[in-house]
Structure 1
Amino acid sequence: MTEYGRGPGSEPWHPEDPLYGDGGWDGQQAHAGHQPAYGGQPQHQHYPQQPQQPGYGDWGNGQAQQYDQHQYGQQQYPQQPYDPQQYQQQYVPQGQQTYHEGYQEGGWDGTGSHAHVPYAADPGDPYGQQAAAYGAEQPDFYGTPDAYPPPEPPARRRAEPEPPPEPEAEEKPDWDPGPDQGEHAFFAGGGADDDEDDDEPDGRGGRRGRGGKDVKTPKGKKKGRNGCACLVVVLVFAGGIGGVGYFGYNFYQNRYGAAPDFSGSGTGQSVSVQIPEGAGGAQIGRLLKEAGVVKSVDAFVSAATNNPDGDKIQAGAYILKKEMSAQSAVEMMLDGDSQANVMVTPGQRNVRVYKVIDEKLGLSAGTTKKVAEKQYKTLGLPSWANDNSQIKDPLEGFLFPGTYAAAKGMKPEAVLKAMVSNAAKQYATYDLEDKAKALKLDSPLQLVTVASLVQAEGKTVDDYRKMAEVIYNRLDRANPETYGFLQFDSTFNYLKSESNIEISESEINSNKDPYNTYTNKGLPPGPIGNPGDVAIKATLNPTDDGWYYFVATDGVSKTEFAKTHEEFQRLKDKFNESTGN
């Protein structure tokens, strides 16, 4: 044992030993080969620098040469400048001694005692005391309150006094945006600890917000960020569930639920609804819904489908009531009394159409006729219409057969315009100008005039083509049968505004009106009625059998044709017998 007690025995080292206290936090010797610096910081000890010795220590006489640098084995290390990073942590193999810069160490003498160390421990270094030998009981030289200047070991740390609560009005926010300029602490970590008091002291191990600042809450208060976040999540989920339920209910109602519908036969308020040509159930339902008659389109379509006559609803105007059940609306539309329409039938003359329009619109008799005479140029006639100054009615032949809306409150010109527009549309599909030339007629208007004669004189569909041939043959002024005279009773009845089949020859022969085809060759100035599709098509495609004459032998519906005058005379006698003349 040496005088400092650094022998191999269990005697504790002397406190004045320069290496005394070179141990861990609890006064125990550090593990061999691993000497960390306290708190992760290098320890700075300053000792006088000794000149380098060129030789090695004298191992035989117990005296050792003094070196400022470590000697290890045969290697001599040159003196280097002090680098704190180099000595922050040193590792050596197990069983080898760690040497610290600044201590003069010698070799061992033959007896194993340590050489003399000429330097005493630095009294200003609180850690310059070397601990006792391994296994010995270690005294605590750090019992005083000021033994550990900051930073202190973890076991010695005391909680810092809590700051006094700040005034409520000047309460600061409990989070620091730090360098991220406002990032909420909830998204910066630590959200799981929001409900705990932040009692940990500052420093190592404490919870720190972004930017190196602690996220603190005054004592006794709970952080509310998680509560707000949970409230937002609950509201989002509640809104989502409510939205799914709403759309789910609507989907179920639209697909499986009964369609919305009124009940009963409607209120006392009447409304006029116009149904266009070719409208289907869904389109009719939409028009009724817009007018306030039915509550939904689906309800009307369902009611029309369940009614065996639901597909017989025609185009035109209907006088219905508001807020009717769909079933009542369908039944009322199938009832003729609800229809507010004007129906133009094939061959019908304009004077009859004008009268019906006055009745439907609640106008005085003759009102519509006067409008037609004054406004015919503004109603949409084709450019080739009204090409003869002797025409009695420019609209004759242009009120195309069909059903048209005519409810109270409408103006007569609106009803007439719908009819004329339809006629112009239909005639355009037949290419009347080219067809007129092919049939040796002067204009499309003459084709319409021929069609009106076919419609007026024919009794059945089979008669129309033969009747058209009779007209074309008799217009040929070179034929020896008629020499260009039509001699139709229908033209004379037109100028007389009558429908009389019993006309005396004296009456006929005395009337020189241009519409009297008994006294005037060729066609009348204009149509004598409104022909339909069948008569128009027959006019464009007549037979070619040589017919020149025809007689309604029963006086009503049966028409017979003849090619010669003799045959015509026999048919005329047959007619006289059937009528008793």
Structure 2
Amino acid sequence: MTKEEKGTKKEVIRQKMLEQHHEARIVRKIVLIISILLLLFIVLIGGGGYLYIQSALKPVDSNSKKQKTLEIPLGSSVTGIGEKLEANGIIKNAKVFKYYVKLKNEGGFMAGDYQLSPSMDVPEIVSRLKTGKVLAKASFKIAVPEGKQLKEIAAIMAKATNQNEDDVFNKLNDKEFIKTLMVKYPDVLTEEIFHSTVKYPLEGYLYPATYPFYKPNPSVEEMVTAMLDKTRNVLVDYTEASNEKKLSVHQLLTMASLVEEEATEKADRKTIASVFYNRIKKGMPLQTDPTVLYAQGKHKDKVLYEDLEVNSPYNTYKNTGLPPGPISNAGKVSIEAALDPAETDYYYFLATPEGDVIFTKTLDEHNQEKAKHITNKK
């Protein structure tokens, strides 16, 4: 073979290798594009499915005032109940209802005639079917105001049901009882409530509302279940916002409780929340008086300097960051403030005797306002 022929053959081989390399690059690009498209498809389908399910769990019409009487016959299946609810416009999707009941391990629905409304969400309907809230007037109601601590709620429950206050409070702090609640409400009650520094595991988790009961003297479990149902129903609307802010349920309720305790009727809760977040970001202690009183287990109109020395993880004058857990229950407005604080450069606030709240940027400004509104009025 001549040199020319050898050269030609090498050139042919080289060209083939270049062509193969080019083809391989094209194949890799095609595979990459297909992979990206598949990934996007999976994400879109998954995200769309999640949003669809979340929507299906919400009320058909939250503003509806209609009431429909539905009979749930003895022995009705979950599938049958879901189909009846959907057919009557009470829920959006019978299959989502069925899977929700199975996922939450709910059951034991009671037969009877129920008065239901399109304004109810799925968790509320499930709770009503479980507890047998049929067409009957409430035997009595328990009103739990905002800003109440667990001891106070125990007293309210005990008085309404003629039980011993200490017995109710002890039940609310019984670890084995709380563990059974954690199984029912894994999305609300987590291991954080059992941290060694947490004073009372259920503190801040019993939502402030008025609760109707349809039989006299319900058990502590029945009352707590109604309250935790409400807590879960409220918090489900804030799941996305909590995730974006990287707040666990425990942290969210803790921050909300601080806002609740510091707020007055005239206060802008979102601005109060901004002060707390600004101080945390800067590494400053929160220095909020209600945590000191909570640490002492006292209710006082005025916090003294000696109170600030209490040795407790709840004392936010001595410890930075959030306290170990909530110091009271919090309403919706305070929860929303904890999730969506105002954007400010305030680091201090002061509540005046008239109920106004004054926000300041520096300690000097804060002390000036304190002298003007507090010290000089003594």
CA RMSD of aligned residues (A): 3.2
Q: Does 1:535 align with 2:342?
A: no
Question: Following superposition of structure 1 onto structure 2, how do residues 369-518 of structure 1 map, counting pairs within 5 Å?
Answer: 369-374=169-174, 375-379=177-181, 380-381=184-185, 382-384=188-190, 385-386=192-193, 388-406=195-213, 408-431=216-239, 433-437=242-246, 443-460=248-265, 462-476=267-281, 479=282, 483-509=283-309, 511-518=310-317
* Mapped partners of 1:430, 1:346: distance in 2: 19
Q: Which amino acid aligns with 1:470?
A: V
Equivalent residue in structure 1 for 2:362, among 549, 555, 564: 564
Give the structure with the larger helix fraction: 2
Q: Could you report, residue by residue, the CA deviation over 1:514-547 in whole angstroms, capped at 9, with x for unpaired residues?
A: 1111111111100111111111111111111201
Structure 2 stretches lacking a partner, 5+ long:
1-61, 72-113, 115-127, 129-135
| 8 Å CA contact 1:361, 1:410 repeated in 2 | yes
Question: 2:95 — aligned with what?
Answer: none
Q: Which has the higher contact order (CA 8 A, sep 6+)?
A: 2
* Mapped partners of 1:516, 1:339: distance in 2: 42
* Mapped partners of 1:280, 1:533: distance in 2: 22
What is the TM-score when the length of structure 1 is the normalising length? Answer: 0.39
Question: Following superposition of structure 1 onto structure 2, how do residues 117-516 of structure 1 map, counting pairs within 5 Å?
Answer: 282=67, 340-374=140-174, 375-379=177-181, 380-381=184-185, 382-384=188-190, 385-386=192-193, 388-406=195-213, 408-431=216-239, 433-437=242-246, 443-460=248-265, 462-476=267-281, 479=282, 483-509=283-309, 511-516=310-315
Question: 1:551 — aligned with what?
Answer: 350
Q: Could you report, residue by residue, the CA deviation over 1:407-460 in whole angstroms, capped at 9, with x for unpaired residues?
A: 5331111101110122123212201541332xxx5x331122111111110113
* Mapped partners of 1:513, 1:578: distance in 2: 32
* Mapped partners of 1:579, 1:413: distance in 2: 49
DSSP 3-state at the match of 1:366: helix
| 8 Å CA contact 2:144, 2:156 repeated in 1 | no
Q: Which amino acid aligns with 2:275?
A: V
Structure 1 ranges of 4+ moved more than 4 A: 277-286
Larger Rg over CA atoms: 1
DSSP 3-state at the match of 1:518: coil
* Mapped partners of 1:513, 1:451: distance in 2: 20
Q: Does 1:575 align with 2:377?
A: no
DSSP 3-state at the match of 2:350: strand
DSSP 3-state at the match of 2:210: strand
Q: Which amino acid aligns with 1:370?
A: N
Call closer, same or farther: CA 1:579–1:377 in 2, change over 3 Å. Answer: farther
* Mapped partners of 1:444, 1:565: distance in 2: 32
* Mapped partners of 1:361, 1:279: distance in 2: 33
Structure 1 stretches lacking a partner, 5+ long:
1-276, 287-296, 298-315, 317-328
| 8 Å CA contact 1:349, 1:396 repeated in 2 | yes
* Mapped partners of 1:280, 1:578: distance in 2: 53
Aligned residues: 250
* Mapped partners of 1:459, 1:425: distance in 2: 26
* Mapped partners of 1:280, 1:411: distance in 2: 31
What is the TM-score when the length of structure 2 is the normalising length? Answer: 0.59
Q: Which amino acid aligns with 2:297?
A: S
Identity fraction in percent: 30
